[in-house]
């Protein structure tokens, strides 16, 4: 690894081999961060994200880790901090969404959703805390969901975890101030692998409910995350910012 790379401040984006996470990783790399592209299973997709970043002149590395496992997260954090000049940005993006009614849901379904959608944000922030505190300023951005605001009739485990993420965001914003800000971004319908089938089947009905008349592109969500992760956003903390085209106000 060359000297230039080790002088870059580090950024971790969990669940960033595709979709919103990949767009966030690419945006932070353009902003001058050495980015950890985290993935669980799809190494090929993660390496494609790394390749796009490098072609654009940025620095990134792909790291496999199950972010629902605290020990795995600790390893992820230490590898990133060692590869770059510590850690300044944590974007807790990893998510797991499965359609399950209460009758269909197993206890394992519930526990896994809480681990990936909520506990992982605490795990990553806790593991990175001492590195973040070594920076003159640092940022944590949690990716929430519209479902945290409106609930779900087919995914109580997901809506509950994402609602908990809002409480975690507010609590950590209080605890980690003033040098570390903590905010959440709550996207609405966004064109990703996770929503492709739903939008293909029900897009016309969904878009009729959205004042903007369309779904978001991942890059639009990434732009908001990148601003909250910037030095200029230092007076914003403890907020959940909705990016949903006006479907929830």
Annotated catalytic sites, by residue?
158
Based on DSSP, count helices (H) and strands (E) in the chain, helices before strands. 10, 7
Peptide bond into 178 cis (omega under 30): yes
How many Cβ atoms from other residues are within 10 Å of residue 105's Cβ? 17
What are phi and psi for residue 112, nearest 5 degrees? -65, -40
Give the burial string for 136-152 (b: 16+ CB within 10 Å, else e). Answer: eebbbbbbbbbbbbeeb
Element (H, E) at 181: strand 180-187
Residue 183 has phi, psi (to 5 degrees) of: -135, 165
- The two tokens of residue 100 are 């399950």
Segment holding 38, helix H or strand E = strand 34-39
- Match 């919103």 to its residue by tokens: 20
Is residue 14 within 8 Å of 120, Cβ to Cβ? yes
200, two tokens = 């293909």
- E strand or H helix at 214: none
């Amino acid at each position: 690894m060359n000297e230039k790379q080790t002088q870059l401040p580090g950024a971790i984006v969990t669940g960033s081999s595709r979709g919103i996470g990949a767009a966030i990783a690419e945006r932070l790399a353009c902003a001058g961060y050495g980015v950890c592209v985290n993935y669980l299973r799809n190494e090929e997709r993660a390496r494609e994200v790394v390749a796009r970043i490098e072609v654009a002149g940025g620095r990134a590395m792909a790291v496999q880790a199950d972010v629902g496992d605290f020990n795995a997260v600790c390893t992820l954090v230490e590898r990133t901090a060692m590869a770059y000049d510590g850690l300044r940005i944590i974007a807790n993006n990893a998510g797991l969404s499965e359609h399950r009614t209460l009758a269909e849901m197993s206890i394992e379904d519930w526990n896994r959703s809480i681990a990936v959608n909520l506990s992982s944000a605490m795990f990553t922030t806790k593991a990175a805390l001492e590195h973040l505190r070594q920076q003159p300023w640092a940022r944590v951005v949690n990716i929430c969901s519209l479902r945290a605001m409106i609930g779900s009739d087919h995914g109580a485990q997901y809506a509950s975890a994402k609602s908990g993420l809002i409480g975690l965001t507010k609590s950590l914003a209080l605890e980690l101030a003033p040098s570390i800000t903590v905010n959440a971004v709550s996207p609405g319908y966004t064109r990703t692998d996770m929503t492709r089938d739903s939008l293909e089947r029900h897009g016309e009905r969904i878009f009729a409910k959205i004042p903007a008349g369309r779904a978001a592109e991942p890059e639009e969500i990434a732009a908001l995350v990148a601003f909250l992760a910037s030095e200029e956003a230092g007076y914003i903390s403890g907020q959940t910012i909705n990016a949903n085209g006006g479907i929830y106000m």
